Amino acid sequence: MPRILFSDHDFPDIGLELELFRRHGIDVEVAQCRSEGDVIRAAQGCCGILLQYAPITEQVVNALPGVGIVSRIGAGFDTIDTAACQRQGVWVANSPDYGVGEVATHALGLALAVTRNIVAYHRDITAAGKWHYLSSGRLRRPRELTLGIVGLGRIGKRTAQVSRDVYKRVVAYDPYLIDGDFPVFVERASSLEALAREADVVSLHTPLTAETRGMIGERFFAALKPGSYLVNTARGAVVDVDACLRALDAGILAGAGLDVLPSEPVAAGSALASHPRVVLTPHAAFYSQEAERELRQKAARNLATWIATGRPDYVVVQGTRKPAA
């Protein structure tokens, strides 16, 4: 019977995965791996790994010649060394399309929370007993604002769609798309700095790559108009958090709505957590009951499909390793 490692998860129970693997005649080793060593030890005798956040580094890939596939429960795959997998012929799969609407509406929700002072008003009322429309400062008319989207892929495009009736204009920066991939109502920004100069509200939707790590830093904030807003539902490390805090304190940013941080959960005593103009959510943009079920089913099914056919449903890296006959 083929055996796979379920390397780590933060779900209250994993009945869904265990039932899916049982139906496909797959044996499961369940662990909570945090380190490379944990993964290497737990994956002995396994042909595949289902992971949430466990590190699949070059060392892990090299140490596990029997593993032919790793499947990430999620769209992003930045905890996986995809180049090492490619070199060793290990398939990498993910679950890319389960929560596009959830993340897009969450991004809009965070944008509205900061541009309409929703959380600040609530805090003023409940913590300070203030009941006044000016308690948290002056607001601008949404229909006068421009939304700037960085990364116009699945989620970026949906964010543009759900936001288009809220804002005056939607502009986007995505150097990897041809003009024809831009919806007609989205204007193209020629560079990240050009987007920064146009946008009042910037929403990030790129993957975390060597190129995007720290991309929203000093240079970007220097190009922003004072009083702008930043929303990040992509990956925390796309934003240089120290530069973001300086931009908040300098008034370049009037507010920031962050669902993701470079290191999660937020550190105790973090300046972000106590900042009056920052709204945090706990990497929850993907979440609805329906999306979670779809996400977990698709990620687990990648392993079952690969074991049955030699190819997973959602391919990130095309491997060469084959399931045992």
* Sheet architecture: strand order including 315-317: 27-30, 3-6, 48-51, 69-72, 91-93, 315-317
Quote the DSSP letter at residue 284. Answer: -
Which CB atom, from 173 or from 306, has the smaller least distance to ligand NAD?
173
Residue among 31, 177, 245, 272 that touches ligand NAD (CB under 6 A): 177
Residues belonging to the active site? 235, 264, 283
The dihedrals phi and psi of 136, each to the nearest 5 degrees, come to -120, 25
For 130-145, the DSSP string reads: ---TTTT-----GGG-
Q: Which residue is nearest to ligand NAD (CB)?
A: 153
The CB-of-292 to ligand NAD minimum distance in angstroms stands at 11
Both tokens of 290, joined, read 């329906």
The CB-of-21 to ligand NAD minimum distance in angstroms stands at 24
Q: Which stretch binds ligand NAD (CB under 6 A): 61-69, 110-118, 149-157, 219-227?
A: 149-157
The CB-of-12 to ligand NAD minimum distance in angstroms stands at 18
Question: Per-residue x/- marks for ligand NAD, 197-236, CB under 6 A?
Answer: --------xxxx--xx--------------------xxx-
The CB-of-273 to ligand NAD minimum distance in angstroms stands at 18
- Between strands 228-232 and 253-258, the pairing is parallel
How many other C-beta atoms lie within 10 A of the C-beta of residue 59? Answer: 15
The upper half-sphere exposure of residue 269, i.e. CA atoms within 13 Å in the direction of its Cβ, equals: 0
Query: How far is Cα 312 from Cα 54, in angstroms, rounded to an integer?
Result: 20
**Near ligand NAD in 84-123, by CB under 6 A:** 96, 99, 103
With contacts defined by CB under 6 A, how many residues of the chain interact with ligand NAD? Answer: 31
Q: Please report, as ranges, the residues that interact with ligand NAD according to CB under 6 A.
A: 75-76, 96, 99, 103, 150-156, 173-177, 205-208, 211-212, 233-235, 259-260, 283, 285-286
